[in-house]
Amino acid sequence: MTGTAEPSLSELPLRPELKGEEPYGAPQLDVPVLLNVNENPYPPSREVIEDLSRAVGEAVATMNRYPERDALALRADLADYLGHGLTADNIWAANGSNEVMTHVLGAFGGPGRSALTFVPSYSMYPEYARNTHTAWLTVPRRADFTLDLDLALRSIAELRPDVILIASPNNPTGTATDLDQLRSLCAAAPGVIVIDEAYAEFARPGTRSALDLLPSFGNLAVSRTMSKAFAFAGGRLGYLAAAPAFIDALRIVRLPYHLSVVSQAAARAALAHAPELLQQVDALRRERDALQDWLLATGLQVAASDANFVLFGRFADRHRVWQQLLDRGVLIRETGPTGWLRVSVGTPEETAAFRTALTDILPDNERLTDD
Ligand SMILES: *Cc1c(COP(=O)(O)O)cnc(C)c1O
């Protein structure tokens, strides 16, 4: 340390494994068409806004007191939404499923322990592991991004991970994993397994949720979020379902009063409008399918998606494509394996703007082919 009052980051005694790390950073830019972080493009209706405002207003009147620590009323509402015979004891909730996952790694990971996922997958998973001092292990998916079950089972037997994380539908690929495969993973997991269903509501009709597996596996948690299908990304509410003992483990590591009175009240008011908030999901699914068909028709490669986004490519210089779209007012996400880009499904107008911009620049951008 140099003793200056305004040290640079490199002068501070940062944990060695954090040196050189950048904070999570999907760019938040002010452009007309935002298709980069898989938000629901439909803002709440006047009626929902009024109900949420009333609920938050009442909650604020008790602001001098700490919130109800265990958020039992909210957890009961979330259990009702999920069905499957679940009750408040089966549910955990926090400020986004990002915080829920941090609780899982805090309780079941840690020094000398490991967490494993199947890549490519969600860019935040290694960060939860790093922040909780949990060793990070990865096993590749197949070229089409589906799970290679034999490889998965062999890797689990060999590596004995304490935590397995699997996103289904997966981000950034959109790939859903078959329930029979998930059952095999649950049976093989030596520790706990979290199936991250952040995009479950967007899956093709008939896709079964891992909630069906909960009665059979005490080591399983199924994670959900209100950020995507519920159009509640700004409200920050994620949750998971598991056996009551699993929930008790998470309660040990959560910070006290982690969910504010405002968050609890707003989430409960939003849940009371679940049918209305979810009614756009069907429209978004149809828009996604049409977008995939269109991308395929342009001759691009597309990863089959069960989520509210599509991974497409592959470009010799994907950054150039990303930048040229941005220059035309369309922000998408530069993520996933080399050459791929991810676009969220927006309103029909937003998706049309994306198609127009991409049509404009495609002839000018070299593709990669598989050989
Ligand atoms: C968006 C997303 C989440 C949700 O994060 P929140 O913190 O609830 O907003 C969780 N998992 C995956 C794979 C996601 O893409």
User: pLDDT digit string (tens) for 224-241?
Assistant: 999 999 999 999 999 999
Q: Tell me the pairing of strands 91-94 and 238-242.
A: antiparallel
Give me ligand 1 centre to Cα 244, in Å: 23
Residue 24's pLDDT band (boundaries 50, 70, 90)? confident
- C-alpha span between 315 and 295 (Å, rounded): 13
Domains of the chain and CATH, by start: 9-45+275-364 (3.90.1150.10), 46-273 (3.40.640.10)
User: pLDDT digit string (tens) for 352-371?
Assistant: 999 999 999 999 999 998 65
Give me ligand 1 centre to Cα 263, in Å: 17
Give me ligand 1 centre to Cα 55, in Å: 25
More confident residue, 371 or 313: 313
- C-alpha span between 130 and 24 (Å, rounded): 13
- For residue 17, the model assigns a pLDDT of 85
What number is the average pLDDT over the span 258-276? 96
Q: Tell me which of 24, 40, 92, 97 to substitute to probe ligand 1's pocket, judged by most ligand atoms within 8 Å of the beta carbon.
A: 97
- C-alpha span between 95 and 238 (Å, rounded): 6
Residue 28's pLDDT band (boundaries 50, 70, 90)? confident
Sort 109 into a burial class: Cβ within 10 Å, 0-12 / 13-18 / 19+: buried
Residue type present at position 255: L
Structure tokens at 345: 């499904």
Residue 1 has pLDDT above 60, yes or no: no
User: pLDDT digit string (tens) for 145-195?
Assistant: 999 999 999 999 999 999 999 999 999 999 999 999 999 999 999 999 999
Beta-bridged to residue 34, according to DSSP, are: 331
Is the distance from CB of 97 to CB of 196 less than 8 angstroms? yes
Q: Mean pLDDT of all residues in the chain?
A: 95
Structure tokens at 183: 């059952």
Q: Whose CA is nearest to atom 1 of ligand 1?
A: 198
Closest CA to 224 of 86, 92, 362: 92
- For residue 3, the model assigns a pLDDT of 62
- For residue 69, the model assigns a pLDDT of 92
CA distance from start to end of the chain: 52
- C-alpha span between 75 and 97 (Å, rounded): 14
Give me ligand 1 centre to Cα 307, in Å: 12
Q: Indicate if ligand 1 lies below 6 Å from the C-beta of 335.
A: no
Which ligand 1 atom sits closest to the C-alpha of 226?
8
Give me ligand 1 centre to Cα 235, in Å: 13
Left if phi > 0, otherwise alpha if psi is -120 to 50, otherwise beta: which for 83?
left
Structure tokens at 172: 């950034």
188: Cα within 13 Å, side-chain hemisphere? 21
